[in-house]
Amino acid sequence: MPYSRESSLDAARFLCFTSYSVRRRAGVVDEGGPTGFEVAAEGATIDGEAGGEGLAIVLLHGVTATRRYVVQGSRLLERGGHHVIAYDARGHGESSPADDATAYDYRDLVADLLAVLDDAGAERAVLVGNSMGAATAIAFALAYPDRVSALVQVSPAYAGEPDEAGFADWERLSEGLRSGGADGFLSVYEPKADPRWHDTIIQVTRQRLERHRHPEAVADALLVVPRSSAFEGLEELEEVEAPTLVVGSRDEADPGHPLWVAEAYAERLPDNELLVEEEGRSPLAWQGAQLSRAIAGFLERRGVHA
């Protein structure tokens, strides 16, 4: 696909959002901004922040990312009358490593989400998950349907079972991160995206890897999460009760989150809308403000309120 000025601008916007987000730290916020919190979960301490009032929305990030990388630092949802709760998954960002190096599977992630909701006093919430966070949200919705007002699946990658063909790649990334930090990870990381996105992907990957207080814990998670089952088969999606917005990404920019997975989710989820960026544009998942507007619009259309 040819290079375009629009795609270049999209990449610049993505870097702008992510650069802004990584400068903000939990507990150090501007006036009126979110408030940091810690939750004692089973085997780990979860670090997060919450801001705004209204309908509870929980942001769940992907593996190797942090809470900054769901809506890319955008605060539109918070300013739009929602109570936004964002936290770093166990072992990631400012959260502590798990007591057990193998305790990073989806059962652990679901238990952490339940602990965060209980601590916040949120009986029901909208779960906005990206990649690993998307699978965590589905697993939670299947286990605790009464606690979920709606779901947003951003760049889902879990295709109903662990991808054994990718285990060796995850092992290399884990070892690279463990032995050499961000540089070690990037030395074995090979983005398969269209070349015009390569520099953006590498720069943002470095940014987010450098935000982890315990990179060795992220390396542990890289060995566990890909081998964990969030749910058993795509058919189980038919049991999800909550209205769901599925945000897919075209393979040119983000082949690690195949568009066919998002389309398969949309085929099976009983009540859903599928949203994909236009041809030649950067993924909506990379555009925090636009993604936030899409989420707010979906919730308004579906009448999901506090």
The pLDDT of residue 22 is 33
| % the chain with pLDDT above 70 | 90
- Rounded Cα distance between 156 and 138, Å, is 10
Average pLDDT over residues 42-63: 98
Strands 55-60 and 82-87: parallel
- Rounded Cα distance between 109 and 90, Å, is 8
Alpha-carbon distance values, 282 to 12, 72, 221 (Å): 10, 14, 28
- 190-211 pLDDT, tens per residue? 888 888 888 989 999 999 999 9
CATH topology for the 40-301 domain: Rossmann fold (3.40.50)
The pLDDT of residue 32 is 64
Q: Strand pairing partners for 58?
A: 85, 127
Beta strands in the chain (DSSP E): 35-41, 44-51, 55-60, 82-87, 125-130, 148-154, 244-248, 272-276
235 pLDDT band, cuts 50/70/90, is: very high
- 147-176 pLDDT, tens per residue? 999 999 999 999 999 999 999 999 999 999
Where do the domains of the chain lie? 40-301
CA-closest candidate to residue 160, choices 86, 103, 106: 106
Q: Write down the residue that tokens 């490593």 correspond to.
A: 97
The pLDDT of residue 253 is 81
pLDDT at 25 over 60: no
pLDDT at 5 over 50: no
Mean pLDDT of the chain: 91
Q: Describe the strand order of the beta sheet including 82-87 as a list of residue ranges.
A: 35-41, 44-51, 82-87, 55-60, 125-130, 148-154, 244-248, 272-276
183 pLDDT band, cuts 50/70/90, is: very high
Average pLDDT over residues 79-102: 98
The pLDDT of residue 31 is 53
- 243-278 pLDDT, tens per residue? 999 999 998 888 899 999 999 999 999 999 999 998
- State the pTM of this model: 0.90
